[in-house]
Amino acid sequence: MRNWLKILIGLLAVLLVGWLHHGPLGHGEAYVAALEQKARAVVAETGVPGVSVALGHDPLTRHATLSGPADAFQREGQGELKGINDLVGEIEGVSGIGWTDEGKRPFALPLLAELWIWMAIAYLAGLGLGWLLFRPREREGFF
């Protein structure tokens, strides 16, 4: 079997494990649900009535979409006073924020694509390190 085929099979196996972890085992949905719960708690602490937050569920994303009757000051804050955008954006794991009434929908990379990118980078980094450290050396000379 050729070396590039072995590398490709290994990469596909890693991506399959990532998909199993994310999809059928339910860890992706659980992660997004936990982020959404934290974001809802932060929005509730602001005391602005009628503001709600949701993260992407079809496909799963870490992008928070806010909706409600908040004015510009409540959304953006001013100086040291943080607005709703800043408070939700500080939650570890939230990748971006948008409001439904702004009209534009920013691109949000699906969580599965993020997972596959990081897993492929880790696989290729490990492959490169293994090649550097453990490849057979060519002998120069008699001994």
The pLDDT tens digits of the residues spanning 26-85 come to: 999 999 999 999 999 999 998 899 999 999 888 999 999 999 998 889 988 888 889 999
Q: What is the pTM of this model?
A: 0.82
Q: What are phi and psi of 56, to 5 degrees?
A: -65, 130
Contact assessment for residue 60 and residue 32, using Cβ atoms and an 8 Å cutoff = yes
Pairing of strands 77-78, 81-82: antiparallel
Q: How confident is the model at residue 3 (pLDDT cuts 50, 70, 90)?
A: confident
Nearest one of 113, 132, 137 to 28, comparing CA atoms: 113
Phi, psi at 106, each rounded to 5°: -70, 155
Cα separation, 113 vs 28, whole angstroms: 11
- What is the residue-wise DSSP string for 115-130? HHHHHHHHHHHHHHHH
